[in-house]
Amino acid sequence: MIETLTGKKIIVPTEQGPHPLPWPYSHGVRVGNMLWIAGQVALDEELRLIGPGDPEAQARQTWRNIKMVVEAAGGKITDIVRVCTYLRDLSAMDAVHKVRRELFPDRDYPVATVVQVAALGLPGLELETEAFAVIGCS
């Protein structure tokens, strides 16, 4: 049986996200128990770039931001079921995988896609990760 998507669209409040948004999008949108998380990058709460030139440091900050969004929506990191990471350079994949292994030590990994891109939205970014979670599934 297929469950239908029910519930009202709820925007994760900006003040509960990783940083204020000077751009026209939401960090996360929840409908029912489904949560779409916008592409997160290595910006801290002051919009400072963390780890210029360091993919591992950027991956850690990116996942800190993802964790903040999923928790603000009532979930936890293990509720994430899908990620898509955009890399400036595929040589950063080992760093991305290292951080993901630490976050999911039980090997209960989300499905994942990695795509190399020509550029990301801000100078100095090495990666961007978007995620999808099913709140309460873990």
For the chain, which residues make up each domain, given as ranges?
Answer: 25-134
Confidence of residue 137 (pLDDT cuts 50, 70, 90): very high
Confidence of residue 37 (pLDDT cuts 50, 70, 90): very high
Rounded average pLDDT over 40-63? 95
Nearest to 56 by CA among 42, 43, 45, 46: 42
Nearest to 119 by CA among 94, 89, 96, 85: 89
Q: With a threshold of 0.85, does the pTM exceed it?
A: yes
- Crossing angle (nearest 10°) for helices 55-72 and 93-103: 40
Please state, in angstroms and rounded to a whole number, the distance separating the CA atoms of residues 116 and 118: 7
How confident is the prediction for the chain on average, in pLDDT? 91
Please state, in angstroms and rounded to a whole number, the distance separating the CA atoms of residues 90 and 127: 10
Report pLDDT for 65.
95
Q: What are phi and psi of 128, to 5 degrees?
A: -145, 135
pLDDT tens track for 68-111: 999 999 999 999 999 999 999 999 999 999 999 999 989 999 99
25-134 fold: 60s Ribosomal Protein L30; Chain: A; (3.30.1330)
Report pLDDT for 2.
42
Distance of CA 5 to the CA centre of its chain: 22
Please state, in angstroms and rounded to a whole number, the distance separating the CA atoms of residues 11 and 94: 33
15, burial (CB in 10 Å: exposed 0-12, middle 13-18, buried 19+):
exposed
Q: Which residues pair with 31 in a beta bridge?
A: 9, 34
